[in-house]
Amino acid sequence: MKRFSVRQSLSAMKVGTDGTLLGALGGDLALRQKAARILDIGTGTGLIALMAAQKTEPLHAHIVGIETDHASFEEARDNVLASPFRDRIEVIEGDFLHYLAEKPFDLILSNPPYFTATHGSEDERRTLARHFGRLTPFSLLLKSSEMLGDDGRVMMIFPTNILGDFSAAAERAGLRILSQTMIHTTPRKSPKRVVATFGHKGDSSHLERLSSEDGACSLPSEETLTILDELGAYTPGYRALLSPFLTIF
């Protein structure tokens, strides 16, 4: 990273494409929303919290990263303390479902666990970090909705094949998908990841209006981000998104 370092020898989940995409897109959303308070659920190494802090430097936003795994918490805390954003990031060890915040958040970010128990892993901590367990789409979104300000947003990244699960869970939790960015590895491949932004049901921001015989209905706005072009080079859109962070750009 250009402005901070991320150690990851202890963390259950390592730095990957999903986290960097969410950190960059979440930071951009925080700027547009003028977010003063941001929560990173399952902060891991602290990567997403650190990227959000870098992006929101003009806003001087306060970021909280919460992590249940003790070793990951310690590493995230150390990464934050070694960064130029240490005064704006608070790392908490604990269970998100039991977390009580003093004030609502303007933006909640999460790269949630999304594998079911049938997808095993030799590393038990990594398995726990990647499995739903008690943190199901519904419990995650319900708790998020309770901690969100009236005009707040929740942004998550997950596989496209469980988009329906999260959409249904959001409906039950009093939220709705306002926008979604479909992530393509290459132009010819179907998207394997989606970055979805949720808001309270009464919030119609970013929704597209489609008319039908039964009247108008609202659908989430949709964008596309492709990582590699036909020749295997990073696309201009991906480079522009990640160039403030990655040293390869």
Query: pLDDT per residue over 2-50, tens digit each?
Result: 999 999 887 777 889 999 999 999 999 999 999 999 999 999 999 999 9
Tell me the CA end-to-end span of the chain in Å, nearest whole number: 10
Summary mean pLDDT of the chain: 89
Residues 6+ apart with CB under 8 A from 29: 35, 107, 153, 155, 197
pLDDT of 210 > 90? The answer is: no
Distance CA 155, CA 31 (A): 14
Distance CA 154, CA 110 (A): 8
Distance CA 6, CA 99 (A): 25
pTM of the model: 0.89
- Which pLDDT score, from 0 to 100, does residue 129 have? 43
Q: Answer for the pair 70, 40: CB distance below 8 angstroms, yes or no.
A: no
Band of residue 62 on the pLDDT scale cut at 50, 70, 90:
very high
Band of residue 219 on the pLDDT scale cut at 50, 70, 90:
confident
DSSP 205-233: TTEEEEEETTEEEEEEEEEEEESB-TTSP
Distance CA 173, CA 232 (A): 40
Distance CA 46, CA 33 (A): 22
Beta bridge partners of 217: 210
Band of residue 114 on the pLDDT scale cut at 50, 70, 90:
low
